[in-house]
Amino acid sequence: MIDLLAPHPRTVLGHWPTPLEPAPRLAAELGGGTRIWIKRDDCTGLALGGNKTRKLEFLLGQALAEGHTTVVTFGAVQSNHARQTAAACARLGLRCELLLSRSVPRTDTLYETSGNVLLDGVLGARVRVVDGMDETLAALEEIGPAFVIPPGGSNAVGTLGYVAAALEFAGQAERSPEIGGVDRIVVASSTTGTVAGLLLGLEHARLPAVVEAACVYRPADETAAELDTLLGETAALLGVEPRAGGRSVRDDWFGPGYGVPTPEMTEAVRLFARTEGVLLDPVYSGKAAAALVGMVRSGEIGPGETVVFWHTGGSPGLFVYPDVFTGR
């Protein structure tokens, strides 16, 4: 198989491969005869882990190759991407500037001082909360020359991290005959880089699993359009054709908006914790888990199917939603 990624600068930041684990107690609890596995990208090893580590290997690989010493990126106040960028910059000796926005309708002290944003400071990043484009542009001007990473690390270079992830996963599945054929992969989708990379990597590995993308940031039509654009850009960077089909973009479990809890998310987080000892987060993996639970219970994912839940990390977010999870 041609090594698609060899021409692209990369700096290793994670622990690879991340585990691929069966979830028999979760499957038994849901019923329906579905086989469930969890791909543990919460175990990437960089500052409590998460999917953005994979993207940062290529993004910061490019930054180092170009001689940058300062990195700027963007996200919500409780951005997992910002935390992992701060950690990666600390490891590589780069100055890290985080420009965070109030994308979730909360301004309470707990939300703006705990969880991921607390860790950003511990990791040595300079954190600024910016309101609107004028403040953002002023901050960028003050920072000066820097390597700029888009929200979520989701450009064509960052997406290469999930091309690599799909190839890693295909190898694990091939070496684990107990998995059998993988029918579906359920994963959260916000800025679409994770899904785009998985689709391209699965195509290259000739693994025909359908990627079920659970929207957590924007509605399905907007997410699908952004995904198509990023697929085309990343395919062009790699010199391949973008994968046609092989995915479903769903917003059935999105709820009222980004970072807004839903009962389905809360139940799914508890289910994963109490059956498999796996911690999800309220914003991303929790809503994707709600999608998995909903599809199994409705019979959309049927008896005999094998489904992989791709855990994108984010557990520090649990600490800023205590009211959602206290009680039963």
Selecting among 79, 154, 189, 190, the annotated active-site residue is 79
Torsion of CA 55, 60, 63, 67, to 10 degrees: -170
323 closest CA partner among 279, 274, 283, 266: 266
Q: What are the phi and psi torsion angles at 36 (to 5°)?
A: -120, 130
Instruction: Answer whether 312's CB lies under 8 Å from 288's CB.
Output: yes
Residue type, 15: H
Q: Which two tokens stand for residue 118?
A: 């607390």
What radius of gyration do the chain's Cα atoms show? 19
242 closest CA partner among 272, 308, 197: 197
Whether cis (ω within 30° of 0) applies to the bond prior to 242 is no
State yes or no: is 79 an active-site residue: yes
The residues, ordered by sequence, that sit 6+ positions from 49 with a Cβ below 8 Å of its Cβ are 41, 42, 43, 313
Q: What are the phi and psi torsion angles at 273 (to 5°)?
A: -65, -45
The CA distance from 203 to 213, in Å, is: 16
Q: Which two tokens stand for residue 49?
A: 């882990």
Instruction: Answer whether 293's CB lies under 8 Å from 30's CB.
Output: yes
85 closest CA partner among 161, 199, 9, 5: 161
Instruction: Answer whether 90's CB lies under 8 Å from 48's CB.
Output: no
The CA distance from 47 to 141, in Å, is: 29
Q: Which residues are catalytic?
A: 79
